[in-house]
Structure 1
Amino acid sequence: MEKKTQLEVAGNAALVVVDVQKGFEDPFWGRRNNPEAEANIAALLDAWQGTGRPVVFVRHDSPAGSRSPLRVGHEGNDFKDFVEERRGKGAGPEVLVTKSVNSAFYGEPGLDGWLKGAGVRQIVIAGIQTNMCNETTARMGGNLGYDVLFPLDAMHTFDLAGPFGWTATADELTRATAVSLHGGRFARVVTTEDVVAAAR
């Protein structure tokens, strides 16, 4: 049996909380998975803010004139209450990054510059959606040289239809993301429990 290696979380590792917005509660998206996602995201936020580590809050701003539940000026653009209540409460540095594409690295202010300015080399990604903005941010983070931790139980996604009549459930998409990121060495797929334990 393979021995489990102890997870290490850097003293200045940044928690990147992606798109935890009210608009993702809209039936528009379909069936979701992982009902424990929000509790695990909250646990990560509490651990990060309690230890003074940096937190990045990422918000997806869809165009105001679109039909997206995440559009600017619509209540769905707001962070979910448990995230909004924690903003500004940490002992460490915090930043709000707004974006209109999948990767948090293509937002304002520039995430890569902010992280490098703070000397951060390790990031932990949590939020919504697993196989969309979270995966895209993780891939780009890995390409930019960051040590990326991806706590799979601190995120969720939705069932999805693709080409050729193919469909995939939220759980199938989650597994595919985990295998691609971990197997491809873009990120290390881990659990919230292990990350929180290592952070404390």
Structure 2
Amino acid sequence: MIERVVALGLPLLWSNSVLPALDLPLRGRTVANVAFAAGYTKVFCGNPNWLSRSGFRWGSGSAAIVLAGYAVALAVPSLRRLPLEVAVRAPETSTLEWIAVHIPVGTVLAEEAIFRGTLDPLLAESIGGPASAIGAVDFGLWHIHPAKAANDSIPLTILATTLAGLIFTELRRRSDSATAPALLHLAINAGGALAPAAARWVDGLRR
């Protein structure tokens, strides 16, 4: 019981208190997140199973659906206006570095190792059915400080990321690998980061 409580609480303490208090630049936050994820996975005996064929299969299929959705949004003028209104969220670095390093490593790799690679299996082993909901809520609460720093609605952010967590957890369960949710997670975040620039480019071509 104590192990589960600690496993649930440590990510929230790290994301919402410890990491913000360190006041690191973006590159430092990426390194720190990966180091925390590695330590967390080691302490709680996580097994992300990154090289799973099933994980790649489920993840590629899920990511393809998301990327197709972004393509449709860019092709439809009324939908293309939405990413054009999105503010740039990575002023500390180039878009290329943001998408090539910080999203896949500092966000996706770290979060999937913590939540789907370690916490979800630990909860599933000990409490069964409710594990997916509990892990998803913990994932949602992990985003409190990031939402605050970005001036986003905290309740809406928690709701959206909790729902995403439920989907990610189900992908991990079906594939027995954190690779599947990681690929979907990467498609969502990287696609969202690229969408504003892509929308501007498409608009320029059509003028």
Q: TM-score, normalised by structure 1?
A: 0.27
Higher share in strand: 1
- Higher relative contact order, structure no. (Cα contacts within 8 Å, ≥ 6 residues apart): 2
Q: TM-score, normalised by structure 2?
A: 0.26
Higher share in helix: 2
